[in-house]
Copies of this chain bind each other. A is one copy, B any other.
């Protein structure tokens, strides 16, 4: 493979996570140190920044400040939810991207995001290949949803899982403190895959936690749910339930939609969910007469960098680093995921390359064999899978008792003389 000399560009897309910047920093730092890479540019708000010639020069950032990216939540370069058209239907965006690649002599394209971002990366790569422009395109995964195919797990998931398990342990203590009855319903993110909600099971494994956990992998039945809550409440006067925002009935209707029949859809056609915890809390209150509290973990679960897993941070960094190293070595059209072993309680994790075509638009769900027979809890298989991922406390710097997050200068990139 011949040496490819030129600039690199990196963008971040989709919903942020606590560690998406650790991945980006792994790529940026490695690219800045790499002799084949002449310049390192950041896209402001992902592909939208590239389309609008809105790039920043990462080489102009102070290295010590830049290093704070590793512990700063939410895409530091800005994110977008822009969906590129199918190039067979409309090439406009791709032609613009090709112009930008030429203008800045970009030969390395790194895109940091979830399923949709891997799809974007894949489409751009295919277009450039067809048009004879040499550029190496690598996906750097990120999604708290943990639903990317191939990889053992996704950067971002473990930190969200650690926050969820920690919060469930704490809320368990709080919601069982009174001598009076109390039912608590916690809602986690996860539209089609229940990984985040499943993380609540770590609380049970390591202390005390949820009585019932419902994932979108199993059809949700309001009557069975209500009966189960009533049974537990009758026995203990307490019941703690954790549900995924994406739970749905056997006809595929989201339970959250029961409350809001005309839920809006986003640019990707996903139904905008929310308010499930409040809806279920009201429903159970009517059914039981008990005091019921609904808690939606909302954005907190995906940005709680103060409770991030250092394992997740380090792996995310390694993923970004490996993306650059592989691209420079000649690899293209791959996503850098992980291959792990968990033999006899010993966890190992190595980066591994996955085809973008396989990753894009495939969703990995929680295996049914890790869900209990009654469909309302997880078994040891999930615990063994997940527990190693949440180990280690974040080394986030604090100043005045609060996080010290990165502040980028964001110096506008200047194209080299033609």
Contacting B at CB under 8 A, from A350-406, are 387, 390-393, 398-405
A303: chain B residues within 8 A (beta carbon): 170-171, 173-174
**A179-B48, A207-B405 given as contacts; is B391 within 8 A of A170 (CB)?**
no
A296 in the interface, Cβ–Cβ < 8 Å? yes
Which of B178, B180, B205, B402 is close to A169, meaning CB atoms less than 8 Å apart? Answer: B402
Contacting B at CB under 8 A, from A61-117, are 72-75, 78-81
A179, B74: Cβ atoms closer than 8 Å: no
A299, B175: Cβ atoms closer than 8 Å: yes
A302: chain B residues within 8 A (beta carbon): 174
Stretch with Cβ within 8 A of B (4 or more), from A216-224, A244-252, A305-313, A328-336: A305-313
Mask: chain A, 343-354; 1 = CB below 8 Å from B; 0 = not: 000000000000
**A171-B299, A174-B302 given as contacts; is B206 within 8 A of A81 (CB)?**
no
**A275-B278, A300-B170, A300-B295 given as contacts; is B309 within 8 A of A401 (CB)?**
yes
Report which residue of A176, A306, A402 has the largest number of chain B beta carbons within 10 angstroms of its beta carbon.
A402
Mask: chain A, 290-328; 1 = CB below 8 Å from B; 0 = not: 000101111110111111010000000000000000000
A340 in the interface, Cβ–Cβ < 8 Å? no
A180: chain B residues within 8 A (beta carbon): 80-81
Shortest CB-to-CB span from A59 to chain B, Å, is: 23
A165 in the interface, Cβ–Cβ < 8 Å? yes
A390: chain B residues within 8 A (beta carbon): 400-402
A306, B307: Cβ atoms closer than 8 Å: yes
Which of B81, B175, B179 is close to A45, meaning CB atoms less than 8 Å apart? Answer: B179
Docked Cα-Cα span, A170 to B305, in Å, equals 7
A138 in the interface, Cβ–Cβ < 8 Å? no
Shortest CB-to-CB span from A170 to chain B, Å, is: 4
**A275-B278, A307-B306 given as contacts; is B178 within 8 A of A45 (CB)?**
yes
A173, B81: Cβ atoms closer than 8 Å: no
Docked Cα-Cα span, A165 to B302, in Å, equals 16
A403, B169: Cβ atoms closer than 8 Å: yes
A28 in the interface, Cβ–Cβ < 8 Å? no
Which of B79, B162, B309, B403 is close to A207, meaning CB atoms less than 8 Å apart? Answer: B403
B401, A72: Cβ atoms closer than 8 Å: no
Shortest CB-to-CB span from A161 to chain B, Å, is: 10
What is the count of identical protomers in the complex? 2
B177, A79: Cβ atoms closer than 8 Å: yes
Which of B73, B169, B205 is close to A170, meaning CB atoms less than 8 Å apart? Answer: B73
A16 in the interface, Cβ–Cβ < 8 Å? yes
A393: chain B residues within 8 A (beta carbon): 398, 401
A45: chain B residues within 8 A (beta carbon): 178-179
Which of B177, B295, B402 is close to A206, meaning CB atoms less than 8 Å apart? Answer: B402
A401: chain B residues within 8 A (beta carbon): 162, 309, 387, 390-393
A171, B405: Cβ atoms closer than 8 Å: no
Docked Cα-Cα span, A49 to B295, in Å, equals 29
Residue of B with least CB distance to A179: B45
A9 in the interface, Cβ–Cβ < 8 Å? no
A137 in the interface, Cβ–Cβ < 8 Å? no
B304, A293: Cβ atoms closer than 8 Å: no
Which of B167, B297, B403 is close to A166, meaning CB atoms less than 8 Å apart? Answer: B403
User: Please, could you name 9 A-B residue pairs with CB atoms under 8 Å apart, sorted by A?
Assistant: A75-B177, A169-B405, A170-B303, A171-B299, A206-B400, A206-B402, A275-B278, A306-B307, A309-B401
Apart from A170-B300, A207-B404, list 18 A-B contacts with CB within 8 A: A45-B178, A73-B173, A74-B170, A74-B174, A79-B178, A79-B179, A80-B178, A169-B405, A173-B303, A174-B302, A202-B402, A293-B298, A295-B300, A300-B300, A387-B400, A390-B401, A391-B401, A393-B398
- 5 nearest CB pairs, A to B: A74-B173, A45-B179, A174-B303, A170-B303, A390-B401
